[in-house]
Amino acid sequence: MHIPSDHPRHRSLKTRQMLEEGVRNGLVTPTGMIAHGRGEAFDYLLGERTTEAAREAARAAAAHLLLASHPVISTNGNSSVLAPEGLKVLSEAVPCQVEVNLFHHSEDRVKRLVEHLQGKGLKDVLGTNARESIPSLTSNRALCERDGIFTADVVLVLLEDGDRTQALRDMGKTVLSVDLNPLSRTARTAHVNVVDELSRALDVIVEYIEELKTCPESDFHKIIEIYDSETNLKNAMNAMSKHLQSQ
Ligand code: PTJ
């Protein structure tokens, strides 16, 4: 369907179209549409902009990624279809691996997503050799690659509300996440959660990666030390509340 470029919700409608196509191509799970609707609602509350709180979280996430010895970006159906360019730029900027990890898991879908990302120019995409399992998780999200998420020291989790973040933390890993919902289990459990729309969040993290690369490593430690996740999530909720009151 043609979406006029002057439509006030052009971007949002195009994004929905991408997800719809993703479902048709077997990349996105049908419930990915529901997850996206939840995200859109929170983005509306935010005013569809990157807040100061999100920038602060993105800076802390960048510092963690630069200090990591084995960072991995975990991507699912929605994030792989919504932001392949962002994933490519970030994975090259750090640099780090990208691993396809699915809740609604099937080998066929993992393979399709790995090929989709490779087609977008990503090089080091894992997921098809998921023979390890994250302890204490009963869902298929536990499946991961030995040379990827299983042995990573820092994992960036994109768009999920569940129990994997706690399980990854229990394995001693640092968990970073992007989730527009500041109340989600993932957002509240991660060491750093960026409350922002995925593509915007990846852009800002990359911006900070490039900026911090010119700084001494001691600066990364300082950024991480002063970062307080609970306060950041409260600031994100305050930004939503202020935006609502300004309407
Ligand atoms: O591809 P699969 O099988 O791994 O499934 C992926 C989905 C996304 C369907 C699955 O992880 C899921 O059901 O997710 P949840 O539990 O609905 O959580 C998704 C979270 O991401 C919610 O808290 C949403 O607010 C948030 N979200 C959705 N879209 C965006 C987003 N956050 C940032 N940017 C978005 N575009």
Q: Are 112 and 29 in contact (CB under 8 A)?
A: no
Nearest atom of ligand 1 to the alpha carbon of 42: 25
Would you state the pLDDT for residue 1?
A: 76
Q: Which two tokens stand for residue 188?
A: 């509240």
* Nearest protein CA to atom 13 of ligand 1, as residue: 35
Residue 196 pLDDT: 98
Q: Which CATH number fits the domain 52-246, given the four candidates 3.40.718.10, 2.40.110.10, 3.40.50.12640, 3.40.190.10?
A: 3.40.50.12640
Q: Measure 38 CA to ligand 1 centroid, in angstroms.
A: 8
pLDDT digits (tens), the chain, 247 positions: 787 787 777 888 899 999 999 999 999 999 999 999 999 999 999 999 999 999 999 999 999 999 999 999 999 999 999 999 999 999 999 999 999 999 999 999 999 999 999 999 999 899 999 999 999 999 999 999 999 999 999 999 999 999 999 999 999 999 999 999 999 999 999 999 999 999 999 999 999 999 999 999 999 999 999 999 999 999 999 999 999 999 9
User: Residue 225 C-alpha to ligand 1 middle, in angstroms?
Assistant: 29
The per-residue pLDDT for 200 is 98
CA of 18 to the centre of ligand 1 (A): 15
| Ligand 1 neighbours (beta carbon < 6 A) | 29, 31-32, 35-36, 38-39, 42, 76-78, 82, 102-104, 159-162, 178-181, 184, 197-198
pLDDT of residue 124: 86
SS3 of the chain = CCCCCCCCCHHHHHHHHHHHHHHHCCCCCCHHHHHHHHHHHHHHHHCCCCCHHHHHHHHHHHHHHHHCCCEEEEECHHHHHHCHHHHHHHHHHCCCEEEECCCCCCHHHHHHHHHHHHHCCCCCEECCCCCEECCCCCCHHHEECCCCHHHCCEEEEECCCCCHHHHHHHCCCEEEEECCCCCCHHHHHCCEEECCCHHHHHHHHHHHHHHHCCCCHHHHHHHHHHCCHHHHHHHHHHHHHHHHHCC
- How confident is the model at residue 4, as a pLDDT? 74
